[in-house]
Amino acid sequence: MNDRCSFIYSEDLLNYRFNSHHPFNQFRLKLTVDLLNRINALDPNQIVKPRMATEEELTLIHDPSYVEAVKKAGQGLLPKEMAENYGLGTEDTPIFANMHEASSLMVGGTLTAVDEVMTGKTLHALHLGGGLHHGFRGKASGFCIYNDSSVAIKYIQQKYNARVLYVDTDAHHGDGVQWSFYDDPNVCTLSIHETGRYLFPGTGNINERGQGAGYGYSFNIPVDAFTEDDSWLHAYKNAIRDVAEFFKPDVILTQNGADSHYYDTLTHLSATMKIYREIPKLAHEIAHQYCGGKWIAVGGGGYDIWRVVPRAWAFIWMEMTENPNCFGSLPEDWIEQWQKESPVTLPREWDDPEDIYPPIPRKAEITEKNLITLEKALYPIRNHQKSESR
Ligand SMILES: [Zn+2]
């Protein structure tokens, strides 16, 4: 009997929209839901509407003055110079009408997923509208206004008194969530991302291990540019297993930004659909091994909304619901429907062709570098485990 699962969704989530040319485009949610519907993988009974987050919940993490600023900005009442102090009105995070309401719904969606799982109503919950991991206490950053994962983790702690393992596989460092819990030993953050030497936000180095009581509960695996599937998966599989064994969480929250793919124009990694099949598979396994199955998954980055995100995110739901119907050809009618609107040729298969990109000359060097990075990142817990086993 498959695990009970909740899919948090409503078209109102598409209101989180900066402008017509901004790379962050929640139309990808609609494309993903339509793909799942075309293969009958989404039972209407599994769909749960997101609720609005309350101000009290937002201020579990965000400064009340920041929330006030976002509100004013959405009403066109925030002066330009003040907006910049809050990271609003920038090229990355432009102001749009009703941005407070749209962002509160996005956070509410993740809180809805939390309540579905933590009350035991379902074992797994997916909110693809969430995953905005760059949001800071008092500042917007990197397309992220309110940080739904940080708010959700604080909410889990306060309402359910649980220890949370946060795993972020977005190509960008999960900085906002890391800093929110940098001194908290009851939250363990693991981020695997493209090295900050080449990519925003520039943080996420191995030595960001936490502070005070939280020292040793923050893990970062900055992989090299042009990293391919095998090297990426080696890092992911070793890191998530060792960190989960070390921390033994009560619940796992995974952020699934789909921007590590070779097609993604905002990043420099060379992954394919292969990693997006494996990521949820291992998260699922870890959730059952340590958390009685308690697994909350959110979206994140992903800027090729036609060729990458719908397939990558569909894999999460297919894994959650243990639905094997995602091999071979994509549904013809989905391609027909969306090829008309897509600026690029849509893929015809769930998986990418072997020759999706030309061989990368520095492959061996990159693989070696990532191995060393992984060793260094996990050294404290591997050393700890060794001394324990002696
Ligand atoms: Zn990203």
Domains of the chain: 5-51+100-389 (3.40.800.20)
Report the half-sphere exposure of 151 (CA within 13 A, side-chain side).
Answer: 36
User: Which pLDDT value is given to residue 360?
Assistant: 95
Gap between the Cα atoms of 160 and 189, Å rounded: 19
Spacing, Cα 112 to ligand 1 middle (Å): 23
Spacing, Cα 194 to ligand 1 middle (Å): 9
Strands 164-168 and 218-223: unpaired
Spacing, Cα 206 to ligand 1 middle (Å): 18
Helix (H) or strand (E) holding 70: helix 64-74
pTM of the complete model beyond 0.95: yes
Q: What is the largest CA-CA distance in the chain?
A: 63
Spacing, Cα 24 to ligand 1 middle (Å): 10
Token digits of residue 91: 């090229």
Report the half-sphere exposure of 20 (CA within 13 A, side-chain side).
Answer: 0
User: Which pLDDT value is given to residue 295?
Assistant: 98
∠ CA 262-266-272 to the nearest 5 degrees?
20
| pLDDT at residue 132 greater than cutoff 70 | yes
Spacing, Cα 388 to ligand 1 middle (Å): 37
Tell me, what amino acid is at 233?
L
Site of tokens 């243990």: 322
Of residues 214, 275, 239, 189, the one with CA closest to residue 377 = 239
User: Which pLDDT value is given to residue 383?
Assistant: 73
Question: What mean pLDDT comes out for the span 204-217?
Answer: 98
Question: What mean pLDDT comes out for the span 230-240?
Answer: 98
Spacing, Cα 259 to ligand 1 middle (Å): 6
User: Which pLDDT value is given to residue 384?
Assistant: 66
Gap between the Cα atoms of 307 and 310, Å rounded: 7
Local structure of residue 214 (DSSP, 8 states): G
51-55 — which CB contacts under 8 Å span 24+ positions? Answer: 51/105, 51/108, 51/109, 51/111, 51/112, 52/101, 52/104, 52/105, 52/108, 53/104, 53/105, 53/107, 53/108, 53/111, 53/146, 53/148, 53/151
CA distances from 342 to 39, 207, 326, 334, 367 (A): 20, 42, 22, 12, 34
The string of pLDDT tens digits covering residues 298-317 is 999 999 999 999 999 999 99
The string of pLDDT tens digits covering residues 161-183 is 999 999 999 999 999 999 999 99
User: Which pLDDT value is given to residue 47?
Assistant: 98
Spacing, Cα 210 to ligand 1 middle (Å): 22
Spacing, Cα 220 to ligand 1 middle (Å): 15
Spacing, Cα 172 to ligand 1 middle (Å): 4
User: Which pLDDT value is given to residue 11?
Assistant: 98
Spacing, Cα 209 to ligand 1 middle (Å): 21
| pLDDT at residue 16 greater than cutoff 80 | yes
Reduced to 3 states, what is the DSSP secondary structure of residue 151? Answer: helix
Tell me, what amino acid is at 210?
G
CA distances from 143 to 23, 89, 121, 253 (A): 9, 11, 32, 20
Spacing, Cα 131 to ligand 1 middle (Å): 9
Spacing, Cα 192 to ligand 1 middle (Å): 11
Least confident segment among 159-168, 196-205, 381-390: 381-390
Gap between the Cα atoms of 281 and 286, Å rounded: 9
Number of neighbouring beta carbons within 10 Å of residue 39: 16
Spacing, Cα 304 to ligand 1 middle (Å): 12
Token digits of residue 243: 């960190």
Instruction: Kindly indicate the confidence band of residue 3, based on its pLDDT and cuts at 50, 70 and 90.
Output: confident
Gap between the Cα atoms of 157 and 148, Å rounded: 14
Contact 166, 287 (CB under 8 A): no
Spacing, Cα 224 to ligand 1 middle (Å): 15
Spacing, Cα 368 to ligand 1 middle (Å): 24
Gap between the Cα atoms of 196 and 133, Å rounded: 15
The string of pLDDT tens digits covering residues 247-285 is 999 999 999 999 999 999 999 999 999 999 999 999 999
Neighbours of ion ligand 1 (CB under 5 A): 170-172, 257, 259, 301
Question: What mean pLDDT comes out for the span 49-61?
Answer: 98
Spacing, Cα 349 to ligand 1 middle (Å): 24
Spacing, Cα 25 to ligand 1 middle (Å): 13
Number of neighbouring beta carbons within 10 Å of residue 323: 17
Task: Give the mean pLDDT of the chain.
Answer: 97
